[in-house]
């Protein structure tokens, strides 16, 4: 495989196989692996007109002893089921989701980057309304696919701290779709991210849209903070995506590092009291934040702009150590990819 693993960015690369299954007449077909990367749908397909689509993001890793593993795919399966229910889409059965993920990794095994390269194989399960609709209503036919793409760090520079800004845009409405992985959440964040980049910031730190006083998350990652007495704190809100990385990090902090953790509302005024901040997600892993700009006021965390804070580094090392097979995982976190006879 002629890939420069060390210098991969976070982008799409076509790999050999993808999984596809179609829902019609009230049921999913048996699904298949295909080499065809093209999707052909009607011009009035539900996804094209009313954005009826949701997705997931997960990774396969090569471990220190050269096994290939996935990290907690069961949680992606159940979160995708939640997204589907909220968007009036049929759930792709969770056990079949996990089997399909394993098959996609297995069939693209040569694209799983080598241990130590800093890259991984990103997996993108997604579903969309595929038959024509014109009145505003759910589609009745859907396609579920999973493709794979080798990726490097989401933020250029990897462990170099990034800068966020508090935008004058909202990400999610109370009782809206912020807690599920709907494509529409990302469509509405595109203008805000382009604007942030134009102004010299890496990402937006969204506030709750009801009061604009509480910290929520960024466009593609949850946020964690470290207090001056080493507590790991993360926002609690019904309008943020329940990040699997964040939920895992809270366990790592408590069980592996012996730190106290807290999931609670975090007021924007508290920013100045934290000593470290980082973004967490499948793509972001744990990306340190050096500064946050809030309408002319700049808060620089004591950890600074040169390197990750001490606790952030420990969390990162432990989480990635678990993913790469260097540290004993909690039960059920690691799914090994084995050639399987099970058809999905």
Residues that bind ligand COI (CB under 6 A): 57, 220, 281-283
Catalytic site residue 236?
no
Cβ at position 177, least distance to ligand PLP in Å: 11
Tokens at residue 282, please?
């499948």
Return the SS3 of 264: strand
Q: Which of ligand PLP, ligand COI, none lies near 288, with the C-beta cut-off 5 to 8 A by kind?
A: none
CA dihedral 156, 161, 167, 170 (to 10 degrees): 70
Tokens at residue 167, please?
């935008």
Applying CB under 6 A, among 141, 208, 216, 217 the residue interacting with ligand PLP is 217
Tokens at residue 156, please?
């250029």
Distance (Å, whole) CA 91 – CA 48: 20
Distance (Å, whole) CA 259 – CA 339: 39
Cβ at position 79, least distance to ligand COI in Å: 11
Nearer to ligand PLP, 244 or 293 (CB): 244
Nearest Cα to Cα of residue 79 among 24, 10, 125, 23: 125
Q: Which residue is at the shortest CB distance from ligand COI?
A: 57
Which parts of 174-279 fold into alpha helices (H)?
Answer: 183-187, 190-198, 244-251
Distances (CA, A) of 271 to 162, 175, 179, 290, 292: 15, 26, 23, 12, 8
The contact pattern for ligand PLP, residues 173-202, with x = CB under 6 A and - = no contact, is ------------------------------
Q: List, in order, residues 6 or more apart from 219 with CB less than 8 Å away.
A: 171, 186, 189, 192, 193, 203, 204, 206
Catalytic residue (choose from 181, 272, 326, 338): 181
Residues 279-308 that bind ligand PLP (CB under 6 A): 281-282
Nearer to ligand COI, 21 or 282 (CB): 282
Cβ at position 330, least distance to ligand PLP in Å: 16
Q: Which of ligand COI, ligand PLP, none lies near 243, with the C-beta cut-off 5 to 8 A by kind?
A: ligand PLP
Applying CB under 6 A, among 221, 223, 278, 289 the residue interacting with ligand PLP is 221
Q: Using the rule CB under 6 A, is 70 a contact of ligand PLP?
A: no
Distance (Å, whole) CA 309 – CA 18: 39
Cβ at position 87, least distance to ligand PLP in Å: 15
Applying CB under 6 A, among 245, 303, 312, 318 the residue interacting with ligand PLP is 245
Stretch near ligand PLP under the rule CB under 6 A, chosen from 42-50, 118-126, 217-225, 231-239:
217-225
CB atoms within 10 A of CB 306: 10
Q: Which residues are catalytic?
A: 181
In the complex, which residues of this chain contact ligand PLP (CB under 6 A)?
57, 217, 220-222, 241, 243-246, 281-282
């Amino acid at each position: 495989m002629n890939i420069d693993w060390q210098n991969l960015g976070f982008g799409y690369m076509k790999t050999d196989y993808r999984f596809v299954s179609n829902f019609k007449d009230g049921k999913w077909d048996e699904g298949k692996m295909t080499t065809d990367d093209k999707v052909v749908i009607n011009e009035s397909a539900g996804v094209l007109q009313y954005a009826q689509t949701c997705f997931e993001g997960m990774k396969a890793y090569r471990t220190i002893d050269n096994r290939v593993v996935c990290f907690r795919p069961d949680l992606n399966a159940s979160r995708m089921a939640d997204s589907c229910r909220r968007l009036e889409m049929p759930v792709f059965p969770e056990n079949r989701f996990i089997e399909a993920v394993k098959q996609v990794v297995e069939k693209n095994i040569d694209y799983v980057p080598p241990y130590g390269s800093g890259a991984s194989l990103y997996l993108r399960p997604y579903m969309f309304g595929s038959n024509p609709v014109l009145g505003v209503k759910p589609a009745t036919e859907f396609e579920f696919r999973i493709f794979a793409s080798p990726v490097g760090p989401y933020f250029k520079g990897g462990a170099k701290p990034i800068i966020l800004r508090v935008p004058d845009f909202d990400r999610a409405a109370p009782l809206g779709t912020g807690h599920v992985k709907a494509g529409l959440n990302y469509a509405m964040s595109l203008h805000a991210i382009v604007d942030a980049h134009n102004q010299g910031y890496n990402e937006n730190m969204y506030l709750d849209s009801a009061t604009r006083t509480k910290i929520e998350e960024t466009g593609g990652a949850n946020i964690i903070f470290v207090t001056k007495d080493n507590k790991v704190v993360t926002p609690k809100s019904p309008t943020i995506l329940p990040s699997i990385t964040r939920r895992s990090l809270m366990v790592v902090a408590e069980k592996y590092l012996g730190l106290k953790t807290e999931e609670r509302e975090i007021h924007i005024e508290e920013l100045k009291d934290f000593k470290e901040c980082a973004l967490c997600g499948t793509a972001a892993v744990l990306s340190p934040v050096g500064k946050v700009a809030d309408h002319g006021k700049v808060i620089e965390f004591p950890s600074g702009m040169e390197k990750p804070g001490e606790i952030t580094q420990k969390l990162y090392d432990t989480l990635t150590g678990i993913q790469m097979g260097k540290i004993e995982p909690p039960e059920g976190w690691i799914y090994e990819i084995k050639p399987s006879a099970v058809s999905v």
